[in-house]
Chain A
Amino acid sequence: MLNSLTREKKNRVIVTVLGPDKVGIIAGVAQILSNNKVNILDISQTILQEFLAMVLIADMEASEIDLLTLKQELNTLGAKIGVRIDAQHEDAFSYMHRI
């Protein structure tokens, strides 16, 4: 576990979208990911009342940009369409929920 951290072998990110549901959110996110050669592994979403909660797991192994740049691009897209889009390293979640 420690090794995966230090060597950063595992390079998966969790992209989350939270906000009012609109047309084209997933398309926009997918566009950014594919433009940067980030591979989508899993998508799930639910609608709570009129709010969209989407979680996307992606692999950055072949990515042309680093996580912080990806995060910025997604943040910008989110600001444009009025939802909150973020990307975080998978370790932030797996470390908390898996031993």
Chain B
Amino acid sequence: MLTMQEIMETINMVQEEKLDIRTITMGISLRDCCDPDPKKAGQKIYDKITRLAENLVPIGEDIAREFGIPIVNKRISVTPISLVGDCAHTEDYVVFAEAMDRAAEEVGVNFIGGFSALVHKGMTGGDTKLIQSIPRALAETERVCASVNVATTKAGINMDAVYLMGKVIRETAEKTRERDGLGCAKLVTFANVPEDNPFMAGAFHGVGEPESVINVGVSGPGVVSRAVSRVKESDFGTLAETIKKTAFKITRMGELVGRTAASRLGLPFGIVDISLAPTPAVGDSVAEILESMGLERCGTHGTTAALALLNDAVKKGGAMASSYVGGLSGAFIPVSEDAGMIRAVEEGALNLEKLEAMTCVCSVGLDMIAVPGDTSAETLAAIIADEAAIGVINQKTTAVRIIPAPGKEVGERVEYGGLLGSAPVMPVHRFSSTEFVRRGGRIPAPVHSLSN
């Protein structure tokens, strides 16, 4: 029988420490939705999503009530649309984004991911059309998220795609100018993208995935932060052990919810993504965990080491708790979505360079960072190239979700509200990277890609 202490611990985690399941994401293959007529393809996309995901939201809500744990988001990820659209006779892929958006609205999910292309080695016709459609797709839809994979350890870095993404990000910001460049918050540029990631904006349903699947993303920075505060002044072994145990408990909740949801929806259970995902709410911050470890502010010397310890301990605890761990599975450090990160930036403790260093030891990358509106496409591309290089060389996922805030300068803020939060505009390097970025071609795969 459970003890009272154990029961109260779980209740406390949910009520006081903001433990929640961040997302149940239903992956849906759209590979059977191709059609030479783009309108027909759009209709097939809409029909398939609304048919398969009809019960996702009500079932998610039932599970949340039965287990007494909030499930913050119910979401959908689909096959990269560049693959679905490739055979359609059209230059304009916005029609597919609109179909996704309508379907998402119909089934009641707040985001749908998969307006995506995988172009790490080169671009097909469909890939090019998709990428060129991204700015309009993100401006003209509410719920659609886009992602582009521009590099892998096996293929190297497609610098043509990197440069193109620099331009696309600028154009996306411009097209959503009146909303502080909101479109860019729904656009991720990846290296080594995982195909089963349940978290937005980078989720899509990979080509090796089944027809449909349930993946779950847990959360719980608040729970870890409180646990870390309880072991102040203990040594690193104890600190790591404490985080590990806490991560285990959090992940078990994710495993339970994921398996229950999959079973009730009659779908296979995919993975639990054990990422620590912060929200703008006070007490739900990854930066606060690092500060609880003994750093005055996130971003000061020692931050990378603290984050490495955190990320590793979370993985070790999480891996024990779930039979299938996947997705991004590491700590997220999005600036706008984390109150502690925002404070650290505003007080001058955290800058772009330190964030870049931190991405070497955690998932996922430079996330939800606002930079001045006049940042050039070349500079944005160079920032992406740096992140991609970290991912490619270290055989890990990295990503860039950056917002060149239209009309704004350093010191101003972008405001999105909700889970996306708000971000102070951060300075970028004032020296040019243009000549480097414009070389074109592909940076070859590193020597350790030759592992066969």
A→B interface (CB under 8 Å): 2, 5-6, 14, 16, 18, 42, 44, 46, 53, 55, 57, 67-68, 71, 86-98
The CB with the most chain A CB atoms within 10 A, among B8, B68, B259, is that of B68
Assuming the contacts A14-B2, A93-B2, asked whether A68 and B259 have C-beta atoms less than 8 A apart, the reply is no
CB distance from A18 to the nearest CB of B (A): 7
**How many residues from B make CB contacts under 8 Å with A?**
23
A53: which of B8, B68, B252 is its contact (CB, 8 Å)? B8
Contact A57 B66 (CB under 8 A): no
Contact B10 A92 (CB under 8 A): yes
B:115-137 near A, CB below 8 Å: none
Contact B2 A88 (CB under 8 A): no
At the interface, is chain B mostly helix, strand, loop or mixed?
Answer: helix
Assuming the contacts A14-B7, A16-B11, asked whether A91 and B67 have C-beta atoms less than 8 A apart, the reply is yes
B55 at interface, CB cutoff 8 A = no
Can you name 15 A-B pairs with beta carbons within 8 Å?
A5-B263, A6-B259, A6-B263, A14-B2, A53-B8, A71-B66, A87-B68, A90-B2, A92-B10, A92-B69, A92-B256, A93-B10, A96-B249, A96-B256, A97-B9
Contact B7 A95 (CB under 8 A): no
B40 at interface, CB cutoff 8 A = no
Contact A88 B8 (CB under 8 A): no
**Interface flags, B1-15, vs A, CB<8A=1, else 0:** 110101111110000
A87: which B residues are within 8 A, CB to CB?
A: 68
Contact A55 B8 (CB under 8 A): yes
B255 at interface, CB cutoff 8 A = yes
A67: which B residues are within 8 A, CB to CB?
A: 65-66
Known contacts A96-B6, A96-B256, then 20 further A-B pairs from the complex at CB < 8 Å, ordered by chain A residue: A5-B259, A5-B263, A16-B7, A16-B8, A16-B11, A18-B11, A57-B2, A67-B66, A68-B65, A71-B66, A90-B2, A91-B260, A92-B10, A93-B10, A95-B256, A96-B252, A96-B253, A97-B9, A97-B10, A98-B2
CA distance A16 to B5 in the complex (A): 12
* CB nearest neighbor in B for A43: B4
CB distance from B411 to the nearest CB of A (A): 44
CA distance A18 to B255 in the complex (A): 27
B353 at interface, CB cutoff 8 A = no
Assuming the contacts A5-B263, A53-B8, asked whether A92 and B68 have C-beta atoms less than 8 A apart, the reply is yes
Contact B2 A44 (CB under 8 A): no
B69: which A residues are within 8 A, CB to CB?
A: 92
* 10 residue pairs, one from A and one from B, having the closest CB atoms: A88-B68, A92-B67, A95-B256, A97-B6, A6-B263, A44-B4, A96-B252, A89-B66, A96-B249, A55-B7
CB distance from A57 to the nearest CB of B (A): 7
CA distance A21 to B189 in the complex (A): 55
B62 at interface, CB cutoff 8 A = yes
CA distance A67 to B68 in the complex (A): 11
CB distance from A76 to the nearest CB of B (A): 14
CA distance A5 to B323 in the complex (A): 15
The CB with the most chain B CB atoms within 10 A, among A14, A91, A93, is that of A93
CA distance A46 to B8 in the complex (A): 11
Contact B263 A68 (CB under 8 A): no
CB distance from A78 to the nearest CB of B (A): 13
Contact A68 B1 (CB under 8 A): no
B7: which of A5, A68, A93 is its contact (CB, 8 Å)? A93
